[in-house]
Structure 1
Amino acid sequence: MAVLIEAINIKRKTLFELDNAPYACLDSDITTPTARGGQTLVRLKMRNLLTSAVFEKTFKASDKFKEPDLQLVPASYLYSDGEGSHFLDQESYETLTLDEGMIGNALDFLTEGALIQLHKYNGNPIGLQLPMFVELNVTYAEPAARGDSSSGSGTKLAKLETGLEIRVPPFIKEGEKVKVATETGEFAGRADKS
């Protein structure tokens, strides 16, 4: 028997199933009535993990949801082609393919062999979870304007090995490795030298 989650217990980042689709809660708001006999309502802002659609819906506090059959499996990025992006499941060693809709902008942050977490729903790949930060090589950096580096202010454009262009501080040079925040696509510092 599947575990049931009551609407009132669904918090941010909770995963639940509605209409045979997996959802992630982005925000929840509980409204308690002042009149006797009124029902407590829970307004959920949620993302459909299959379509990435985000919407809000109100439920009764006692409404119950199944826990989705979701798994996070470690996988490494292999390559992309006309069929989609291919990953190697690190547990079963099978190749899993995700189409463009499931990938979103993840290719901006993925290099060959990069390890990520792959979401599987009912055994099928539906999306991926990037690490908070990735380290990428700078393949091109604009020359710093004279006087920029001493004041420490200002940024310049840099192109990374995945083709992603970001703003970096003037002291970053071509060939360096930088840390990029995957949520915002912004520069997050120099990569640790290993």
Structure 2
Amino acid sequence: MASLIDAIAIKRKMLFEFEDTPFSCLEADVTSPTARGGQTLVRLKMRNLLTSAVFEKTFKANDKFKEPDLVIVPVSYLYSDGEGSHFLDQESYETLTLTEEMVGNALDLLIEGTLLQLHKYNGNPIGLQLPMFVELDVAYAEPASRGDSSSGGGTKMARLETGLEIRVPPFIKEGEKVKVATENREFAGRA
């Protein structure tokens, strides 16, 4: 039997199960009553881990949630085809396939062999957790404007090996490896 979590104990980034669906808490706000006998309420901004939908809902402080049967598995990206995107479980060596909806726009940041984490709910793959940074080759970089090569005079557009286009400093050239932050898809430095 999974342990139960009180609504008032749910904090940011915690995982819980509500109506047989796994959720991640994005924000938690506790409202205490001013009158005696009033109920303490907890407003949760939460993300459905199956659909990625985000919404807010208010619960009583003593409402209980189950811990979801959620497992995070280390995987490496193999390839994508008509069936979906395929990943190799680094522990069991089985191939796990995610649909296009589950992967979302993460393919902009993935090359063959990229290590990341996959979420499994009740034994089935449901989504990915990207690393904070990925290293990708610059396939094309705009030529730097003359006089721009000194310290940081702006940015230019670069297309990475996955097709993702980002802004980079003028000194970055084709063929270089750059570090990209996965959260905002911005240049984070040379790799």
Normalising by structure 1, we get a TM-score of 0.97
Q: Which residue of 2 aligns with 1:29?
A: 29
Q: Which residue of 2 aligns with 1:154?
A: 154
Write out per-residue CA displacement over residues 97-156 of structure 1, whole angstroms, 9 at most, x where no aligned residue. 001111011101100011110000000000010000000000110000111112522100
Point out where structure 2 has 5 or more consecutive residues left out of the alignment.
none
Code of the residue aligned with 1:82 in structure 2: it is G
Point out where structure 1 has 5 or more consecutive residues left out of the alignment.
none
Partner Cα distance (1:135, 1:113) in 2: 12
Which portions of structure 1, spanning 4 or more consecutive aligned residues, are displaced by more than 3 angstroms?
Answer: none
Q: What is the Cα deviation at residue 26 of structure 1?
A: 0.2
Equivalent runs, 1:2-151 vs 2, <5 Å? 2-151=2-151
- Amino-acid identity (%): 83
Aligned residues: 191
Q: What is the Cα deviation at residue 35 of structure 1?
A: 0.2
Partner Cα distance (2:137, 2:18) in 1: 42
SS in 2 for 1:44: strand
Partner Cα distance (1:151, 1:84) in 2: 43
Q: Which residue of 2 aligns with 1:168?
A: 168
Partner Cα distance (1:151, 1:50) in 2: 45
Normalising by structure 2, we get a TM-score of 0.99
